Amino acid sequence: MGFATNAIHVGQEPDPATGAIVAPIYQTSTYVNEELGKNKGYDYARTNHPNRKALERTMAKLEGGHSAYVFTSGMAGIDAVFRLLRPGDHVVLSEAVYGGVFRLSTQLLVHFGLEFSFVDTSMTEAVRMAMRPNTKMLYIETPTNPTMNVTDIAAISKIAGERNITLAVDNTFLSPYLQRPIELGAHIVVHSMTKYLNGHSDATGGAVVLTRPEDAEKIYFIQRSAGSGLAPMDCFLVSRGIKTLAVRMLQHNANGITVARHLDAHPKVRKVFYPGLPSHPHHEVARKQQKGPGAMLSFDLGSVDAARRFLNHLQLCSLAESLGGVETLVSLPALMTHASMPKEVRERVGITEGLVRLSVGIEDVEDIIADLDQALLYV
């Protein structure tokens, strides 16, 4: 079946007890045993529940994985992936990685004996040069948040295969509708389901999709042992959001292209970072491995003062930390999503104080552009 059909039906079958087209929310913490040692597949909501299992089936199908597990947030899922490693293991990561991942790795996981190297993973040779004898994982974002660098997943997969190491890809910015990392050689795909998968800014959640049964067994052990599995109501909300993922991503993509082209021609904008523009250095790689460029972009206004004037005068677009909702969301990464990253690191990877990140929503694109234009008058 096609992507949209799977998004609507897999894991979201009618309730067998009543025939309800939408499965119920199992808002319970515990399940009654039929007799000692016998239950109906569930015992305690921390270890599993029907809403979680249904959403995990959906995620595994959409990404083409062997199995999937869902967590309380994207960061909880990413933390679980890094827990597959052991003290002394080394990880190579995209240098412009999301600020939360930078904080998790450099301020927490290093204290448990893991080693991290941040490189420009869009440069395949730089990845090769960063390899060590103890390298066990390659972790890439593509496109990167917020610099929009694109990594050739197939090329990095080849390096991982040569060295028998794990390749994990954060697919949050594009969703499985626009990019399918497993088909390009990834072993693990992670998502902040808070973003495009849910799409309505009303639930948090993370997903880890796995291709290897041995990884799946370990991730499930981590999920139930750490108590980081997603709660029933949030599972219900994300499952509901996924039903419209295909149609939402089509509109997000179309709006993203239109807004990027408009900003690229605007005299107040110094530079636009968007893989859908032919001027982007990784445009051809994006065309090769993505179904579309998506709705995430960044643009440079030159200074924090110019960015502040722009952001403070937006009326339709919302100044907010997150992304991927149906509404257009705007942020200043240097002071918001990546504030925990040291200034010298931000500047090295291109996260300047005048860099604005834009998550283009699915409103009428003319209204989005009109709001951006009137705010740019103050720059």
| Active-site pick, 43, 46, 53, 271 | 46
What pLDDT, on a 0 to 100 scale, did the predictor assign at position 378? Answer: 97
Indicate the pTM of the whole model: 0.96
Taking residues 277-300, what's their average pLDDT?
A: 98
Distance CA 101, CA 341 (A): 10
What pLDDT, on a 0 to 100 scale, did the predictor assign at position 337? Answer: 87
What pLDDT, on a 0 to 100 scale, did the predictor assign at position 339? Answer: 87
| Active-site pick, 98, 139, 196, 220 | 98
Q: What is the H or E stretch that residue 296 is in?
A: strand 296-300
29-74 tens-digit pLDDT? 999 998 998 998 899 999 999 999 999 999 999 999 999 999 999 9
358-374 tens-digit pLDDT? 999 999 999 999 999 99
User: Measured in whole angstroms, how far is the alpha carbon of residue 113 from the centre of its chain?
Assistant: 26
What pLDDT, on a 0 to 100 scale, did the predictor assign at position 18? Answer: 92
| Active-site pick, 195, 248, 346, 357 | 195
The reply to whether domains 3-242 and 245-376 share a CATH topology is no
- Per DSSP, the three-state class of 128 is helix
Q: Which CA distances in Å does 329 have to 316, 318, 378? A: 9, 5, 19
What pLDDT, on a 0 to 100 scale, did the predictor assign at position 370? Answer: 98
Quick check: 340 pLDDT over 90?
A: no
Task: Name which of 11-15, 69-73, 315-319, 329-333 the model is least confident about.
Answer: 11-15
Beta-carbon contacts of residue 77 (< 8 Å; ≥ 6 apart)? 69, 70, 71, 190, 191, 192, 206, 207, 208
121-178 tens-digit pLDDT? 999 999 999 999 999 999 999 999 999 999 999 999 999 999 999 999 999 999 999 9
Beta-carbon contacts of residue 176 (< 8 Å; ≥ 6 apart)? 3, 62, 63, 64, 189
What is the 3-class SS of 208-261, one letter each residue? EEECCHHHHHHHHHHHHHHCCECCHHHHHHHHHHHCCHHHHHHHHHHHHHHHHH
Return the closest-CA partner of residue 367 out of 275, 262, 217, 216: 262
What pLDDT, on a 0 to 100 scale, did the predictor assign at position 17? Answer: 87
Q: Would you call 212 a catalytic residue per the annotation?
A: no
Q: What is 3-242's CATH topology?
A: Aspartate Aminotransferase; domain 2 (3.40.640)
Distance CA 180, CA 312 (A): 37
Beta-carbon contacts of residue 342 (< 8 Å; ≥ 6 apart)? none
Query: Which sequence spans correspond to the domains of the chain?
Result: 3-242, 245-376
| Active-site pick, 79, 89, 152, 170 | 170
Q: Would you call 98 a catalytic residue per the annotation?
A: yes
Q: Which of the four pLDDT bands, split at 50, 70 and 90, describes residue 341? A: confident
Q: Would you call 195 a catalytic residue per the annotation?
A: yes
What pLDDT, on a 0 to 100 scale, did the predictor assign at position 76? Answer: 98
Does residue 120 contact residue 192 with C-beta atoms inside 8 Å?
A: no
Q: Would you call 287 a catalytic residue per the annotation?
A: no
CATH for the stretch 245-376: 3.90.1150.10
Q: Which of the four pLDDT bands, split at 50, 70 and 90, describes residue 316? A: very high
Quick check: 101 pLDDT over 90?
A: yes
168-209 tens-digit pLDDT? 999 999 999 999 999 999 999 999 999 999 999 999 999 999
- Per DSSP, the three-state class of 324 is coil
